[in-house]
Amino acid sequence: MMNKKAFGVLATLFFTIISIVFVSPIFIVLINSFKAKTYINYETFKLPSADSYIGLDNYKTAITQYDFVKAVGWTVFITVFSVAVILLFCSMTAWYITRVVNAITKTIYLLCVFSMVIPFQMVMFTLAGTADSLHLNTPWGIIIVYLGFGAGLAVFMFSGFVKSIPTEVEEAALIDGCSPIQNFFLVVIPMMKPTFISVGILEAMWIWNDFLLPYLVLDIKEFKTISIVIQYMKGSYGRVDMGAIMACLIMAIIPVVVFYLSAQKYIIRGVAAGAVKG
């Protein structure tokens, strides 16, 4: 009994230390976002003092001088619509290939799973050329690109969950007069809510923080996401506005953290249903 109690205390202490290690970089960025640029380099780990504290000046600089608000708008647009398209099309694909079992659907499933293990660096140059030739270098065109890259994980998780849904439920709906489309939207989707939220969170966090894909695909002279704006804060001759960068990082982190915390109770449930039962 004492051994179990001691193990519990040690485990709690260990994971508390790990949590502090993971959270500490965010705290360091936060305190430095309120400091003058000079003090960020020399007093990185110190709290703002009377000399270093400049209030919200870094946030004002990020918003006014670096067009951060426009970047937030494009990032929100790309993230919201990309996630919506991924959830809709991948859930329908997963439902179809799970219920209609033949050589074609098995091949589609294996291709989706295989796509998760291919490094992005292997296809990024070909992708950039293809996206440019097909005029996908816009915020609405890159949604299609994100659909392709996000389909692997989404189809895998949705397929696992659909396998756990009794077919009798769908057969009863068909007997009551539902068409296959009505069956999917009125019967299947409500039961897939936990997996929908889990996949949505994972895909949203990836797309919101992504730098390489927008940088390669988008016409960055006209369309910049948050990550690209932060990269462009490094000026000529190595000059870096660290204060504005810290402020931008905090403003970029807050939305995705709030989104994650508001829906975190569905994550484990959805991941377990989509990846274990299948």
Tell me if residue 155 falls in helix, strand or coil.
helix
For the ranges 83-87, 138-142, 178-182, 258-262, the one whose mean pLDDT is highest: 83-87
The crossing angle, in degrees rounded to 10, of helices 267-275 and 142-163 is: 70
pLDDT at 277: 45
Q: What is the DSSP letter of 35?
A: B
> Residue 137, exposed/middle/buried by CB under 10 A (0-12, 13-18, 19+)?
buried
User: Residue 78 corresponds to which tokens in the numbers above?
Assistant: 């790309």
Helix axes 124-133, 142-163, angle to 10 degrees: 120
> How many residues does this entry show for the chain?
278
3-state SS, residue 185? helix
* Helix spans in the chain (H): 2-32, 37-42, 57-65, 68-99, 103-115, 124-133, 142-163, 167-175, 180-182, 189-191, 193-209, 212-217, 226-232, 242-263, 267-275
Longest dimension (CA), the chain: 75
Q: pLDDT tens digit string along 207-223?
A: 998 988 998 888 888 88
Beta bridge partners of 53: 35
Q: What domains, with CATH codes, occur in the chain?
A: 66-275 (1.10.3720.10)
Q: What average pLDDT does this structure show over 195-214?
A: 88
> How much is the pTM?
0.84
Q: Mean pLDDT, to the nearest integer, of 146-166? A: 89
Calculate what percentage of the chain has a pLDDT beyond 90.
19
pLDDT, mean of residues 47-52? 83
Q: What is the mean pLDDT of residues 242-263?
A: 84
Instruction: State both tokens at 172.
Output: 């009863």
Which residues on adjacent β-strands are paired with residue 35?
53
Tell me what pLDDT residue 273 has.
53
Give the range among 49-58, 70-79, 94-103, 268-277 with minimum mean pLDDT.
268-277
Give yes or no for a contact between 88 and 217, defined as CB atoms under 8 angstroms apart.
no
- Residue 35 phi/psi, 5° resolution? -105, 160
Q: Which residue is it, tokens 């890259």?
A: 149
For residue 278, name the pLDDT band (cuts at 50, 70, 90). Answer: very low
